[in-house]
Amino acid sequence: MSSKEAESFRLPPFTAKAHKFWLNDAKQCFIMAIIALKANKMRTFLTMLGIIIGVGAVIALVSVGMGVKSNVTNSISSLGSNMLIVSPGSSNRGGVRGAAGSMQTLKYDDAEAIKEKIKGIEYVSPTVSGSYQVVNGNMNWNTSVQGVTPELMSIRSLTVGYGSFITQSDMNKRQRVAVIGTTVATNLFGTENPVGKNIRINNQPFKVIGLLESKGQSSMGQDQDDMIYIPLTTAQERMLGITYVQSINVQVTNQEEMDQVQAEIETLLRQRHHILAGKDDDFNVRNLTSLMEAMSESTSMLTILLGCIAGISLVVGGIGIMNIMMVSVTERTREIGIRKALGATYDNIMLQFMIESMVIGIVGGIIGIVLGSGASQLIGKLGNFTTVITLLPILVSFFFSVGIGLFFGIYPARKAAKLDPIEALRYE
Amino acid sequence: MAEKDNRHVTIKLTGIRKVYKIGGEELAALDGIDLSIHQGEFAALMGPSGSGKSTLMNILGCLDRPSTGSYMLDGEEVAGLSDDKLAITRNKKIGFVFQNFNLLSRISALDNVALPLVYAGVSKKDRLERAMQCLQAVGLSDRADHQPNELSGGQRQRVAIARALVNDPHIIMADEPTGNLDTKSTKDIMEIFEAMHEIGRTIILVTHEPEIAACASRQLLVRDGKITRDAGKGVVMDVI
């Protein structure tokens, strides 16, 4: 080789700037990690699958659990979870106490006053009821007849299947109209559409204006469809001949305000009924909050339980990462030796392998979130069931999977970083 | 070699011993090595297997530490440095060429050449530019995007030489660089080493082939952990 050719090896002098590895080469490590992970696509995928299933399961199961919770909450709400029931107290004449609700002090005006004067109330519906023989042609049935106001429909979450519900105008005119439940309809009309027909309640003619959709049994085992609703005023004046009401249902807007509203109603009614301080109330106010709390607590437990079971699979996925990273370190001993010979420090190698296992965690986590949310939607669609996806389980399981990638990457990465370059270079 | 004495001493080994404990017995792989290598020297390290040649090579390459003794590399004591300090020293001062090339198989020739600069903390743009210059020097700029398995043995070794040059090291350590190559490639690679020597690079070449060693300006024979012969250029030493 001539001197002229040798000149081509006279490279310009090159001085590397000071070590500033972290900033510059976390990116380089990331690229290397992607290359390494792509080199073993199937293995990377299987390793990720552990995290994907883990994160997916957490999100899907927690969303199912929260769906159950919201279902239970809704069904309790439809029973009237935000409902306060004001009923008259028992009469006490000469030491002889009557049945609960036997006093006649609760008036329609009390209901109006509650509605006007107390804040945080959605609906107020006073009711009266009685049990009567109901007749249509040659068929008859004994059922509960309730005198109600139009608001009851919202409070009880009633849905009218055919026709309409009682209106304010029916109330004002004391109309003889009735809205009947499906059990009553079946017993009086068979399969016939009852709307527009006349029935006789306690020998008085009523026109059926609406048929309710079936609500089934209540949680107390009562048939909620075996019911006839007529206007309150009609019931009071034309059927029962009374001026008082037997209960007032109050729907409170916010569950948190239940106690406050209850206290305000008590104060208001004591004023209106001129009850002196120290004397007993002539009414009772009851609520269903404690039932609600118990149910909500048990469904929260269910959600936590499901989340924990899914969390276990996430940890198992993490162990999968560790397993594969260990294999990867052994397989790449030579590569590590080369890198160390070329000047990679402990931190350099550590960072490279940590980033690799973190990439598995991050990518697996993201795919898991997508699949988990999809699965939750699918469960919702197929099972005709509400699932609730919230940000919290998504964030928690994502950061958990990244954390797992980090944690289970530490040991293999340390193993790699501690390799002796001579031994590593000799490794076949 | 009196004329070389006034040149800069790049490597100075004094009383280097490397002792391994096998069972209860102590085995000295290197038993008191004193050696100076000047800047621009092309030294061939020879010796039969088990002579301590590889151990000496590892110590010279800062891959290993001596049990006792002093190793001044470019005026700095490196015998007692920590693993990380040794790594940084290798990165800055030593370029390696191995028998089996030791290129990373999944990245391109250019990226392989640039790899030491990654650990030197050089920005991506600068290191690719520098790596390209080095590939050009070994005549492989047209193969920059090829992966090592798309290159011939001779080409791979040229990539490895480019990588050894990339950080402008004080010494190039070559461990049997032609051991896996055919005659033609061997000739090409040795020409490159000679060319590098000609422009003043310090080269230490480990080989067991006398013809290869004959290219060097100085031949060192290691036997039983000691340097037993130290001869000038052109002398074909009988190793065995």
DSSP string, B157-201: HHHHHHHHHTT--SEEEEESTTTTS-HHHHHHHHHHHHHHHHTT-
Q: Give the β-pairing of B202-206 and B171-175.
A: parallel
- Average pLDDT over chain B, rounded to an integer: 88
Determine the Cα angle at B22 with ends B20 and B24, to 5°: 115
Q: Which of A7, A14, A422 lies closest to B168 in CB terms?
A: A14
Alpha helices (H) in A277-390, listed in sequence order: 289-331, 333-341, 346-382
pLDDT for A2 equals 46
| Nearest-Cα residue of chain A relative to residue B87 | A343
Confirm or reject contact between A13 and chain B (CB < 8 A): yes
Cβ contact, residue pair A5, B134, below 8 Å: no
Q: Which of B102, B106, B168 lies closest to A11 in CB terms?
A: B168
pLDDT for A32 equals 81
Cβ contact, residue pair A28, B124, below 8 Å: yes
Determine the Cα angle at A258 with ends A235 and A114, to 5°: 40
pLDDT for B240 equals 43
Confirm or reject contact between B47 and chain A (CB < 8 A): no
DSSP 8-state secondary structure symbol assigned to residue B150: G
| Helix, strand or coil, per DSSP, at residue A252 | strand
Give me the phi and psi of A195, to 5 degrees please.
Answer: -65, 130
**pLDDT tens-digit map of B26-49:** 888 999 999 999 999 999 999 888
- A312: which 2 tokens? 């276990």
- A243: which 2 tokens? 């001026």
Residue A357 in contact with residue A325, Cβ under 8 Å? yes
Determine the Cα angle at A378 with ends A374 and A383, to 5°: 155
Using an 8 Å CB-CB cutoff, list chain B residues near A417.
Answer: none
pLDDT for B149 equals 93
The ipTM, to two decimals, is: 0.92
Q: How far does CA A244 lie from the centroid of its chain? A: 40
Using an 8 Å CB-CB cutoff, list chain B residues near A12.
Answer: 133
Q: Which are the contacts of A40, defined by CB distance < 8 A and separation ≥ 6?
A: A328
Q: Which of A10, A24, A343 lies closest to B88 in CB terms?
A: A343
| Nearest-Cα residue of chain A relative to residue B59 | A422
Confirm or reject contact between A28 and chain B (CB < 8 A): yes
The residue written with tokens 């009557």 in the block is A98
pLDDT for A91 equals 66
Using an 8 Å CB-CB cutoff, list chain A residues near B102.
Answer: 334, 337-338, 341, 425
Cβ contact, residue pair B121, A24, below 8 Å: yes
**Which stretches of chain A drop beneath a pLDDT of 70?**
1-10, 14-25, 76-81, 91-102, 217-221, 289-291
Output the tens digit of pLDDT for each of chain B's 240 residues.
444 455 788 899 999 999 988 888 888 899 999 999 999 999 999 988 888 888 999 999 999 999 999 999 988 899 889 999 999 999 999 999 999 999 998 899 999 999 998 888 888 888 899 999 999 989 899 999 999 999 999 999 999 999 999 988 989 999 999 988 999 999 999 999 999 898 889 999 998 888 888 889 999 999 999 998 888 765 555 544
Each as own residue / partner, the long-range contacts of residues B225-232 (CB below 8 Å, 24 or more positions apart, any chain) are B225/B18, B225/B28, B225/B29, B225/B30, B225/B31, B225/B32, B225/B33, B225/B51, B225/B52, B225/B55, B226/B31, B226/B32, B226/B33, B226/B52, B227/B33, B227/B34, B227/B35, B232/B1
Among A164, A152, A167, smallest CA distance to A80 is for: A152
Using an 8 Å CB-CB cutoff, list chain B residues near A20.
Answer: 121
pLDDT for A367 equals 94
pLDDT for A1 equals 44
Per DSSP, chain A holds a count of helices (H) and strands (E) of 14, 12
d(CA A130, CA A374): 52
Q: Full-prediction pTM beyond 0.80?
A: no
